[in-house]
Chain A
């Protein structure tokens, strides 16, 4: 029984080879994947070099910390090699965050007013997969049933004592084997260029993510193939099936992903941003204390940022003692201000997500969009990846607060006195961005999407089967 299915599958596979469908697709994939991967990996190397430069700057900045209150650790989110597969939001948001004893890291759109290249669409391999494999899957499926109906071979095959599900399964397996092999070639080429030509390290995390991305791409290709097969079973002529499939392709790959966000942005505009001017009680307390010290001694100068860092110079013993007594209260007030700011940031974030949610619900009709979303989650470049990163940053911020408490920072003159020289940060806990987000978290976030695609595959296979089984050979 299984031998029959495999026999049909082999026949489909050979058909693909002899009709130049597979060799032609292979050439197209080799050209597209190699050129796109090479171009993107060159750009990745530039951004990685910049990331390294920023790390050095941040390290030097940390060593210059004059007071405990001015302690601010800049954390860089490293560019992921998998951003070549899907850029996600990584180029639209800032990737550099500051962790202080107060204040909360938040995702903001990058200041790209000077970046004129924004007018060109972003390009990555996920887009190539959506476009090319979407097209190939339909090209492999359109004549699957309709072509045989047209030629009359289906009537002949149906006259044999072979169950129809075996026939259909053979077709599906044969064509999917060819498509998955082509996909494997594309991914292999991507890894080859990234790892050995451009010399970009991928790491264990990257390999596991790449495996899941391959699974997602396979599911996408399978789903499109099955939709194409369903169209083919519903058509009596292969040309009709082909044209209908192409209409479906242009809608799901071009029209929906490119236009829905436009309509949503215009028809459901963002409400005005919430007022970020918080009570700033901490800032006022600080300024009043500093003014008081300055009135006592004209030599006192200070440089402060009202949300945290304080650096005071020229203090005498009285001034130092006075500020020491006030600092705990000021620090607590600053922490309260930061919490109130965080609430407003949350409001803003929810508004952004509400607007996006409308676009996402509409775009769910497009398998290309679902794959895009899935791949950016798995590549760690989606908003989910950034949320996981922020979760790690919040934990790190708690570690810093604890460290300051343990060091007795709030009761020490080093909390504000810049004349005492840089503070020692030897025991300060360090943040490792590479291990901040584990692949397992992103895979867990992607599971509902994977399940959705798998269910859609089963539904379209059943629909195709029902349609095929009901075909009247007369």
Chain B
């Protein structure tokens, strides 16, 4: 009986014009997205990026320890193969991350497509985008009348007059609709994979296959949740047109309004100094009036006539100057570290607020499974913070090779490193980004994934209760 009902539902969906339209739109978007990914990925791999890397820069080149102390070491973010499925807005996150020995982070953001301020901010058309925006809409259009239309035209009454339980009808409706939704998803994913595979741009190793599989399963699960939401609304309201409007309002809130407001609210709730404020505050710490710092002319510092000083006074004066300079550098380092902490906290808060919508939850679970986007950025920061310890040890060991060195360990004051020993670039420790293990990925995805699971259970019970208690006259 169940099989018959599911087949009827499925055929009912497949033979409609709206299904054909959904199928064509989805397939077209999947094809376009795969082709543009291949082009963008190729360019990203070619575009160098390598100029940022903290490793050996030129064969035979060398630098003094003193220079190395104030030089950032780090890495350019390598484009990932999984980005055709989940890009997770990586385009808008720093492309290069570096760290100095004093723990100060350096970042650059310019990525392909973000260099024209006239173009509005756009979404990467990856699997997640297609599922969040196109397929979610498709589910709504396919299922908004799954129960209500049968109530309206009276067929549900006839079906219930047979000895068929309501739960069986509900499950068959879900199964039929879900199978119909899986058709464009599966077709699109297969086409997309074929295009990416054929391009030879991405090496499909075991880890990547696992990740792609997980993202596909998550997408299917998310669409199942949306299907349950549609069935619930349709059963609850009992009128097709009202169901569609309510579901579209849900779509607008979930896909557009809540993620759109998350950034604004995050900026409001965790205040971070603007670039101008940072400039002015750092100028103030350095003892320069901000006004001079801003106008680009630093000529009016008090000058001292050293020629009138005795040797002892000169030495005292220089020592005092060094102390003041070191103190200022330390204050600036502390200020920048605090700023970075606030930026990351702001990002985390905005992300949590975006996850108040099912769409946001899905998007960030997919990002966690792909190990990209914010998750990758955070991990990279943590790895760099770990690397800086070995980088400092290396610098100290090199500094001590010079017998005249002051043997400083004060990295906040780069001037305290007096060694002039030259270190060849090929002897420098190189920072390598370590991609997360599957266990780490699952750890990241656990909370948002479980929340989606929780929502699905709640929605399922709501749909079941509403349908079971619905009086059908």
Contacts and interface: CB of A to CB of B under 8 A. Distances in A.
The DSSP consensus for interface residues of chain B is: helix
B386 interface: no
A111 B244 CA distance: 43
B296 A72 contact: yes
Interface string A330-357: 0000000000000000000000110110
B119 interface: yes
Given A43-B264, A120-B354, A243-B141, A107 B117 contact: yes
Contacts of B417: none
Interface in B340-355: 343-344, 346-347, 350, 354
A122 B121 contact: yes
Of B141, B339, B374, most A-chain CB atoms within 10 Å: B141
Contact of B133 (A35, A132, A243, A254): A254
Contacts of B339: 114
Nearest to B133: A254
Interface in B252-273: 252, 255-257, 259-268, 271
Contact of A117 (B124, B277, B280, B346): B346
Nearest to B123: A258
A429 to B, nearest CB: 18
A115 B93 CA distance: 9
A89 B259 contact: no
A123 B268 contact: no
A381 to B, nearest CB: 12
Contact of B274 (A50, A89, A247, A309): A50
A64 B292 contact: yes
Interface in A260-297: 260-267, 269-270
B86 to A, nearest CB: 13
Given A118-B92, A355-B119, A383-B118, A113 B290 contact: no
A60 B289 contact: yes
A218 interface: no
Interface stretch (B68-76, B107-115, B163-171, B180-188): B107-115
B291 A246 contact: no
Contacts of A128: 257
B88 to A, nearest CB: 8
Contacts of B262: 120
A50 to B, nearest CB: 6
A127 B108 CA distance: 29
The DSSP consensus for interface residues of chain A is: helix
A36 interface: yes
B343 A131 contact: no
B49 interface: no
Contact of A259 (B43, B123, B261): B123
A262 B113 contact: yes
A250 B22 CA distance: 12
B294 A39 contact: no
26 contacts: A32-B257, A39-B268, A50-B277, A57-B291, A61-B290, A61-B291, A72-B295, A72-B296, A74-B295, A113-B109, A114-B275, A119-B89, A119-B374, A120-B260, A121-B263, A135-B248, A246-B141, A247-B141, A254-B137, A254-B256, A255-B134, A270-B115, A301-B303, A311-B300, A313-B299, A355-B116
- The 4 tightest CB contacts between A and B, nearest first, are A120-B263, A265-B113, A123-B260, A61-B291
Interface of A: 24, 28, 32, 35-36, 39-40, 42-43, 46, 50, 53-54, 57-58, 60-61, 63-66, 70, 72, 74, 89, 92-93, 96, 107-123, 127-128, 131-132, 135, 139, 142-143, 238-240, 242-243, 246-247, 249-250, 254-255, 257-267, 269-270, 301-303, 305, 309, 311, 313, 352-353, 355-356, 359, 383, 418
